[in-house]
Amino acid sequence: MPAYHVAFGTPVLLSQQMASSSNESVGLNSEEAIVRRYMELQNELQNLFAKLQELESEKVEHNMVVSTLDPLEPSRKCYRLVGSVLVERTVKEVLPAVTANRDNLAQIVKTLSEQFEKKKKELGEFQTKYKIRYKNEKEVRRAQQESGEGQGPGVLVQ
C-alpha cells in the first residue's frame, strides 16, 4: 500500500540529454516540468487509492446490511434513520434501495479501480520514458564529486 512516499534520495533525471531526446511527443521541455508532472501523477494515484479504499469500505457496509436484511421476511419492520429521526419502514421497502445502492457502489469501485490501474501504468510509462529514478545519497555525492560542482540541474528538493 503506497500510502507514503518517504524517500531520502531525490528523484532526478539521469541526464538532460535523455530528457530532451524524448520530450517531443508530449511537449514537456524542461526537467522541472517533467518532474512536476511526475509528482502530479504520483499525487493523483495516491488520491485515487484513498478514494478507492473509502468506497470499498462503504461497499462492505452495504453488503453487511443487505446480508442481514435478506433472510428476514419482507414484512419485518426496519426503521431508517433520517437526520436524527427514525422512520418506520419495512424490509420490503428498504431492501431494494440498499441493493441498488450497493450495486451502484460496486460499479463505481470497478471503474475507479480500472482508472487506478491505468494511472499506475501511465506513471510507470512516464517513469521509464523519462528515466526517472530515485538517487540515493551515495550516488548524489559521487555525482557531485565527479562533476566537481554542487547539485546538478534537475535535482528536485522535496
Chain residues binding other proteins by CB under 8 A are: 1, 3-4, 6, 8, 57, 60-62, 64-65, 67-69, 72, 76-82, 86, 91, 94, 98, 157-158
Shorter beta-carbon distance to other proteins: residue 19 or 98: 98
CA distance 31 to 19: 7
User: In the complex, what is the shortest distance from the CB of residue 109 to other proteins, in angstroms, rounded to a whole number?
Assistant: 17
Sign (positive/negative) of CA torsion 49, 50, 53, 54?
negative
Grid cell for residue 61 = 457496509
Shorter beta-carbon distance to other proteins: residue 29 or 136: 136
CA distance 24 to 114: 28
Total Cβ atoms within 10 A of residue 135: 19
User: In the complex, what is the shortest distance from the CB of residue 81 to other proteins, in angstroms, rounded to a whole number?
Assistant: 3
User: In the complex, what is the shortest distance from the CB of residue 141 to other proteins, in angstroms, rounded to a whole number?
Assistant: 8
